[in-house]
Structure 1
Amino acid sequence: MKIVVQVKLMPDAEQVAALRSMLRTVNDLACWVSQVAFARGVPREYELRKHTYAHLKAEGLGAQAAQHVIKKVRDAYTTLHANLRAGHLGKPRSRRRLKAESKPIAFRPEAAQPYDDRCLSWQYDRQSVSIWTMAGRIKNVSFVCAAGALKVLRDYRKGESDLIERDGVFYLIATCDVPEAEAYEPDGFIGVDLGIVNIATTSTGYQAAGRGLGRYRKRQLTLRAKLQKKRTKSAKRRLKERSRREQRHVKNTNHIIAKAIVTEAERTAHGIALEELKGIRQRVRLRKPQRVQLHSWAFAQLGDFIVYKAKRAGVPLVYVDPAYTSQTCSQCGHVDKRNRVDQGLFICRGCGVVAHADRNASHNIAARGVAVWTAGRESRVPATP
């Protein structure tokens, strides 16, 4: 299982200048390679290398750095074409899609630059790195990270690392290949119902309310609007200071919720059943006031956190069809749209059971998880002699 670990670099003034100059140079050259690729119909990586490698070397890039610039550009076009095929950039001939298709991909001056072990070496005991730049290799660049992150780096780092600059601070994002724990045979499943009012509700009784996060987002939105309206230097400075603060807060909240769910499943020897919610933003139609709330809902991030934490802990996990889980009675199985009285109340028209709507849905998800797991298991019937 591949995870990423982010460390913060602590370079001195001379090292900062070298790193910043290098990032801007390689990203300017990446824009040039992108223009060549666009003009030639985005050829394969080997053919693109024939048209660009000599120029990159002449501009002062090392062999490995030149290869990584070309590969970065080709990967960016691969991602663009995948998004176009999936319809993420709109329908054919739509304004957004035409804008994406009509010009070469551009790279920001501080965009990430990949490094392999030939260009970057780690000294874990001293917590420093040696890294290639246009001015030569600079050594003893200190980095800081949590103790747990350092242990993961030391034990499992493998493959490329990306150097990025964010708000004047340099970070290295390293890829780590962490082994998955062997999954056990679950003694039932914990159903997880994801939502906006309640971020996550499980069939075991755990509930993560979304009221606090909703208020936080609303407050941040009001503050941003107020600062943007002022248009002063100090307001712009405050906006820059507050950038990504909401994103970090939401990410931390999702980590806490995911850890609580996986820990409970591991403690009780249960598996986890999640709803398959891909494409929900395209399927759901909402009024304008509700669209911001829906598109701010980080359900995919929370799901990803639950998945990777479950894999590391050896907790079995399955995806189930979410259709009608909120309209189905978990006691008698009666399905009726009217069963869901309002957001928080479920009253079955068949048997009369009264329950919390999200808790009822989580029980339905848990039952479907058992069915999916049973259907997917290998047969234990002895082979025919």
Structure 2
Amino acid sequence: MKLTMQVRLLPTPVQAAALEATLHACNEATTWCSRVAFEEDVKRNFALREHTYGEIRARWNLGAQAAQHVIKRTCDAYATLKANLKAGNLGKPGSKRYRKANEKPIRPEGAQPYDDRMLSWQIAERRISIWTVSGRIKDVAFTASPQQLAILALYRKGESDLLVREGMWFLLATCEVPEAPLNTDPHDFLGIDLGIVNIATTSDGEIMAGRELNRIRIRERKLRTKLQKKNTPSARRRLKKRRRKEARRAKDINHKIAKRVVAEAERTGRGIALEDLTGIRERVRLRKPQRATHSSWAFAQLGQFIAYKARRAGVPVVYVDPAYTSRTCAECGHIDKANRVSQAWFACRNCGFVDHADRNGSRNIRARARQLWRRGAPSTAPVPPLKPRGGTGRKRHVTASDARCASPGLQSRCS
């Protein structure tokens, strides 16, 4: 399976200037190439190369490999756009969002791909040699955790992406990591109920509560509103400094939860059962005060993290229909809206069974997964999404939290 390792570069001022000039030239060339592809309606690699290759090399002083990557990046961006339009991810044909995406040239993202002819690694010395428009620069230092260095040394293969984020330089290196043999005969499943109040609840009764994360989100939201209203230079500096802070925190917590869930399933020889929540944002109608909380819920990210960690561990994953899992009694199967007494509690009107509502839901998810598996349903853990060159997908970044166990700050309790 493919994973993407993020390492931070530590260039000197002279090296950073060369990298910045290179990224600027590549992005300008990509923007021009995208406009040509749109105007000429030529969006395939070799056909677009005939229209743009010579001009890119002459105008922006790019090497042969860099010029080809610029063209391929543009074609991949249009291929991703076409797939998103076909899948309905950008609205229905004729809608405002659909027309806006389809009626003008796209601007591919700012990361520039590097292959092994443009970039070489000295992992033991934590140095790289990289091509720039000013020539090849050597001995550019980088830093990474011991676990990341080990994976890079053993499994790095293919292209790497160069990008700059808030003045910091990063390389995203692709690694081909072997998967463990899939457990084709799990004796049971670990049901996972995903939610907002409780991020994840297992059928074993473990609850990963989201109170702390939700409090932080509310505080950050209020602070952003206050700074945006103030709109002074110092307020704008503070807003810029706090960008993505909430997302990084949520991502770290999701990594820890996913690692704990997969480790428990692997230890006990079980599979993992998840709800198929595709399209939930379009299906659910909420009042205005609830919309920000619902939109901040990173359930898709948590599901992806569980899926890719399960693939590495050989744990099967089954997605089930979530309909009525919160209203169905896990003991007798009675379905009634009145069974859900409150957000936290479930009380069956038929048999009198009482349990925590999320734990009852996770047991129903486990039961549905067992039925699907007996009918011959395969493991549906998806391949970890890699970012198409210049596209709109997400890369999977391996961070230090992959090598850590869940921290004491992560709230968990059993019911």
TM range (shorter): over 0.9
Could you tell me how far 1:83 is from its partner in structure 2? 1.6
The aligned counterpart of 1:255 is 255
TM (normalized to structure 2)?
0.88
Could you tell me how far 1:106 is from its partner in structure 2? 2.0
Asked if 1 retains the 8 angstrom alpha-carbon contact of 2:73 and 2:108, the reply is no
The aligned counterpart of 2:145 is 146
Asked if 1 retains the 8 angstrom alpha-carbon contact of 2:43 and 2:78, the reply is no
Which SS does the other structure have where 1:114 is aligned? Answer: strand
Could you tell me how far 1:227 is from its partner in structure 2? 1.3
CA deviation map 1:166-198 (0-9, x unaligned): 001110001111111012232211100001111
Could you tell me how far 1:96 is from its partner in structure 2? 2.2
Which SS does the other structure have where 1:106 is aligned? Answer: coil
CA distance in 2, matches of 1:158, 1:322: 38
The aligned counterpart of 2:232 is 232
1:84 partner letter: L
Structure with the bigger RCO (C-alpha within 8 Å, sep 6+) is 2
Structure 2 unmatched ranges of 5 or more: 379-415
CA distance in 1, matches of 2:145, 2:204: 32
Asked if 1 retains the 8 angstrom alpha-carbon contact of 2:113 and 2:159, the reply is yes
* Alignment of structure 1 residues 301-320 onto 2, 5 Å: 301-320=301-320
CA distance in 2, matches of 1:340, 1:313: 36
Could you tell me how far 1:52 is from its partner in structure 2? 0.4
Which SS does the other structure have where 2:131 is aligned? Answer: strand
Asked if 2 retains the 8 angstrom alpha-carbon contact of 1:11 and 1:142, the reply is yes
CA distance in 2, matches of 1:163, 1:36: 24
CA distance in 2, matches of 1:107, 1:304: 24
Question: Alignment length, in residue pairs?
Answer: 376
Could you tell me how far 1:107 is from its partner in structure 2? 4.2
1:178 partner letter: V
CA deviation map 1:77-112 (0-9, x unaligned): 11112222222222233222222222111246xx10
CA deviation map 1:196-244 (0-9, x unaligned): 1110000011111111111100101111111111211111111111111
The aligned counterpart of 1:84 is 85
Could you tell me how far 1:285 is from its partner in structure 2? 1.4
CA distance in 1, matches of 2:288, 2:123: 51
* Alignment of structure 1 residues 332-371 onto 2, 5 Å: 332-371=332-371
Which SS does the other structure have where 2:205 is aligned? Answer: coil
Is 193-202 or 330-339 further displaced after alignment? Answer: 330-339
* Alignment of structure 1 residues 85-164 onto 2, 5 Å: 85-107=86-108, 111-164=110-163
Which SS does the other structure have where 1:277 is aligned? Answer: coil
The aligned counterpart of 1:382 is none
* Alignment of structure 1 residues 30-69 onto 2, 5 Å: 30-59=30-59, 60-69=61-70
2:28 partner letter: D
The aligned counterpart of 2:18 is 18
Asked if 2 retains the 8 angstrom alpha-carbon contact of 1:183 and 1:314, the reply is yes
Could you tell me how far 1:344 is from its partner in structure 2? 1.2
Which SS does the other structure have where 2:104 is aligned? Answer: coil
Asked if 2 retains the 8 angstrom alpha-carbon contact of 1:28 and 1:107, the reply is no
Which SS does the other structure have where 1:158 is aligned? Answer: strand
CA distance in 1, matches of 2:49, 2:168: 32
1:133 partner letter: T
2:3 partner letter: I
2:136 partner letter: R
CA distance in 1, matches of 2:34, 2:243: 29
Asked if 2 retains the 8 angstrom alpha-carbon contact of 1:42 and 1:77, the reply is no
The aligned counterpart of 2:404 is none
The aligned counterpart of 1:381 is none
CA distance in 2, matches of 1:42, 1:104: 12
CA deviation map 1:97-155 (0-9, x unaligned): 222222111246xx100111111111011011111110111111110011111111111
2:250 partner letter: V
CA distance in 1, matches of 2:142, 2:63: 24
1:249 partner letter: R
Asked if 1 retains the 8 angstrom alpha-carbon contact of 2:77 and 2:108, the reply is no
Which SS does the other structure have where 2:30 is aligned? Answer: helix
CA deviation map 1:279-335 (0-9, x unaligned): 111111111211111111100100011111111112221111111111111101111
CA distance in 2, matches of 1:373, 1:129: 47
Which SS does the other structure have where 2:136 is aligned? Answer: strand
Could you tell me how far 1:377 is from its partner in structure 2? 6.7
1:314 partner letter: G
CA distance in 1, matches of 2:227, 2:178: 46
CA distance in 1, matches of 2:73, 2:83: 15
* Alignment of structure 1 residues 180-329 onto 2, 5 Å: 180-184=179-183, 185-329=185-329
Which SS does the other structure have where 2:160 is aligned? Answer: strand
Task: Write out the 4+ residue segments of structure 1 that deviate beyond 4 Å after TM superposition.
Answer: none
CA deviation map 1:14-62 (0-9, x unaligned): 1000000000001001000000000012432111111001111213111
Which SS does the other structure have where 2:285 is aligned? Answer: coil
1:176 partner letter: C
Which SS does the other structure have where 1:199 is aligned? Answer: strand
CA distance in 2, matches of 1:134, 1:194: 48
Asked if 2 retains the 8 angstrom alpha-carbon contact of 1:327 and 1:340, the reply is yes
2:127 partner letter: S
Which SS does the other structure have where 1:118 is aligned? Answer: coil
CA distance in 2, matches of 1:334, 1:76: 49
